[in-house]
Amino acid sequence: MALITLPRSHFYSSGLQTCRVLTCLRKYLSPDNNKSRKVMCQGYFSPQQEQFRIFHHANYRKHHLEKESKAYPVGSVFFQTAAWDRFEQSNGHVDHQRFYKELNNFTSSEQVLKFVTTLETLSDTMAAAALYRVSEVEKEKSAQKIPKTVLENEIFRALCFQFEYESTNLSDTGLVTALQALTGLHVDPQSNLLVNLIMECQNRLQQGHMTIHNLCVLGQCMVKLQNPNCAVLKEIILQLQGQKLQECTPEEIVAIYTLLQTAFGEAIQHQDFLDQLNNLCISLVYKFSPTVTSQILNALVTLNQTQAFPLVVKLCVHSVKFVSHFTNEELGKVLEGFIYFGYTDKFFIQALEEHVSTCCLTMHPESISKVMQYCSKKLILSKPIFDAVAESFVYQAEIFSPVQISQLIIPFGKLNYLPPNASLFFRKLENTIRTRFKYFPPQALLNLLHSCTLIGHPPVNYVAKLFSPYFLQKLQVQELGLSKSSLAQLTQLYLAVVLECPFYKGPKLLQQYQVKSFLIPPYLLETPMDLHLYKIVSVALIHLLEGRIYFASKVSTPCCYTVDIEIKLDEEGFVLPFTSDEDVYKRLALCIDDPKRFCLNSHNLLGKEAIKQRHLRLLGYEVIQIPYHEVEILPSRCEIVKYLKKKIFFHRYRFY
């Protein structure tokens, strides 16, 4: 393994024998060699970074170790996160494992490079790991190019120089890790540095001796530097297929999934390989750590592995015991997997409730919003989660972005739930919207305010802005044309203001932005009636009323709602034929509510059904709810008829 020796101070002299590269490096760093140094540096970085191509003065010495000593795996999958005591300054050789643990504690490039200068000897894998850590911390800062402070750092320059001119002497791990780090730092792919590293990687690849981890790292670099269909990537996948997968460690399996995830276009052409990998994982799930579990679930989502549902189920069940151990990012990936594959687990929900109830105030805003998205998508009304989130929002609404706020609030309306601190909750929400109104994307704001409407809190103070041509134009631009869903939401908002806030005298929603029915795909505002449940109820009604003529089905109302079953009564309580429009004193609206109209495993109506029944009452209907859980327990038609008679006609009725 090649070793790179770095100084404790400038002009460090040594009596030890130096190698050919060190001699070149000293000549290169000589203060009298500015011209040649400038020429040699050119090509490392993209044209936007030319102004930073100056090396500083330093001397370096190099010691030799065996080229193929044991390589410590480097990469986001393999880094550990434990703290330890600092190195003894007198120790010239550093324990690899301690080095990597220490490296992960640094949060800036300056810290990493300064740490490197404290070491007398540095193996190529350790030097590559240092560069990789620099790329990680710069990525966390969302840097699109290498910062000036990094470019001007003499240690960074010297490392790049030796990686370029010693590429043939590097270990496989040091080689691919250096390539991965420099790729992440957006080094110019046409530079001599990257060209040399890539050529050496291709030579090693042709020899066919690279480990699975190094093959995967190289493959990811090739995708970034070239394209997912490049010849090198095809060769890497072929070599991976020739490996003994049953002998792979969980970390190596993750590395393969991550490569296939990165090269999605190439991966879908090797579905047989993916199927083999999926089947193997089923028997290994019990070995997976929280990190491995979340990464594989995320890869299955990206690769659209819907046929791997047995593996998904095992991963989801396995993840239950890790809920409190997942990082914020890992928990988000797991929840995305649950959402994508449509999986729910009561034990996972219980563990999630316990975790959120305990840690909500310290959880990352993105994690909280992801939890609420999961509950919303799967219609899970978890009062412990919702109460904890409502409390968190009241105390720290400022940490949430406008989009996250929308994702937080929507489930409360969708699942028709008011938290115990509802007054404080809505007061905080109104203040937040008022101070940050212009920062909300139009669609997110519409969804948020519509959700408030579903639970009986129409946003009267903001309706005028929503109905303004300016907002509608912004919404139209964002959606590339107003969708039927948005128009339906606007219509229901307007209807709610008219019916529930008669004091509102502001602008109206123009007719051109109103829909005529809420029963339109994707059925966001009304749920279609379940035909099986309707048949049971209608047969019993025919027997009770002694004729089909006395009730109508799927009746459209002027207020855009559709009544499942309507029965008309005159002033004396006589039941009128549904064709009669005269002498109608009262209309009965029967809501045939199947499980799709309730929250998951609950008798709590969804918000869109609750607002529908609320509005029908305000429009003069007598709403009678016929829920599935009351009908399905009745043993016979005769019992159903008795149930309907008691439910609908609790007073004496007559027929014409």
Burial per residue of 233-242, b for 16 or more beta-carbon CB atoms within 10 angstroms, e otherwise: bbbbbebbee
What is the end-to-end Cα distance of the chain in Å, rounded?
Answer: 100
Return d(Cα 268, Cα 146) in angstroms, integer. Answer: 34
Q: Quick one: 140 exposed, middle or buried, by C-beta within 10 A (0-12, 13-18, 19+)?
A: exposed
Phi, psi of 393 (to 5 degrees): -65, -40
Q: Quick one: 202 exposed, middle or buried, by C-beta within 10 A (0-12, 13-18, 19+)?
A: middle
- Checking phi first, is residue 45 left (phi over 0); if not, alpha (psi -120 to 50) or beta? beta
| Residue 83 contacts residue 101 (beta carbons within 8 Å) | yes
Model pLDDT, residue 67: 36
At residue 427, does pLDDT exceed 80? yes
At residue 43, does pLDDT exceed 80? no
Residue 276's pLDDT band (cuts 50, 70, 90): very high
Structure tokens of 614?
């609320």
pLDDT digits (tens, 9 = 90+) for 456-496: 999 999 999 999 999 999 999 888 788 999 999 999 999 99
At residue 360, does pLDDT exceed 50? yes
Helices (H), 325-468: 328-341, 346-359, 365-377, 383-396, 402-414, 422-436, 442-454, 460-466
More confident residue, 22 or 153: 153
Model pLDDT, residue 472: 93
Across 189-218, average pLDDT? 92
| Residue 540 contacts residue 565 (beta carbons within 8 Å) | no
**Which among 614, 251, 219 has a CA at the least distance from the CA of 413?**
614
The pLDDT > 90 percentage for the chain reads 60
Q: How many CB atoms within 10 Å of residue 230?
A: 16
**Which among 599, 635, 169, 163 has a CA at the least distance from the CA of 414?**
599
* Per-residue CA distances from 228 to 200, 222, 223, 266 (Å): 20, 8, 5, 6
Classified as helix, coil or strand, 244 is coil
Model pLDDT, residue 22: 37
Model pLDDT, residue 582: 86
pLDDT digits (tens, 9 = 90+) for 573-619: 889 999 998 889 999 999 999 999 999 999 999 999 999 999 999 99
Phi, psi of 647 (to 5 degrees): -75, -40
Return d(Cα 623, Cα 80) in angstroms, integer. Answer: 61
**Which among 161, 143, 132 has a CA at the least distance from the CA of 4?**
161
Model pLDDT, residue 175: 94
At residue 656, does pLDDT exceed 60? no
DSSP code of 9?
S
| Residue 339 contacts residue 374 (beta carbons within 8 Å) | yes
pTM above 0.75, yes or no: yes
Return d(Cα 645, Cα 41) in angstroms, integer. Answer: 91
Angle at 88 between CA 82 and CA 90, to 5 degrees: 155
**Which among 346, 281, 288 has a CA at the least distance from the CA of 322?**
288
CA torsion 506-510-515-516 (nearest 10°) is 90
pLDDT digits (tens, 9 = 90+) for 300-352: 999 999 999 999 999 999 999 999 999 999 999 999 999 999 988 899 999 99
Model pLDDT, residue 492: 96
pLDDT digits (tens, 9 = 90+) for 80-113: 222 223 223 333 345 777 888 888 888 888 888 8
pLDDT digits (tens, 9 = 90+) for 529-566: 999 999 999 999 999 998 999 999 999 998 999 999 99
Across 242-271, average pLDDT? 88
Return d(Cα 424, Cα 440) in angstroms, integer. Answer: 21
| Residue 55 contacts residue 31 (beta carbons within 8 Å) | no
The pLDDT > 70 percentage for the chain reads 84
Model pLDDT, residue 216: 94
Return d(Cα 115, Cα 100) in angstroms, integer. Answer: 12
More confident residue, 25 or 573: 573
Residue 231's pLDDT band (cuts 50, 70, 90): confident
Mean pLDDT score of the chain:
83
At residue 71, does pLDDT exceed 70? no
Classified as helix, coil or strand, 552 is strand
DSSP code of 598?
B
The residue count of the chain comes to: 656
| Residue 369 contacts residue 397 (beta carbons within 8 Å) | no
Model pLDDT, residue 29: 46
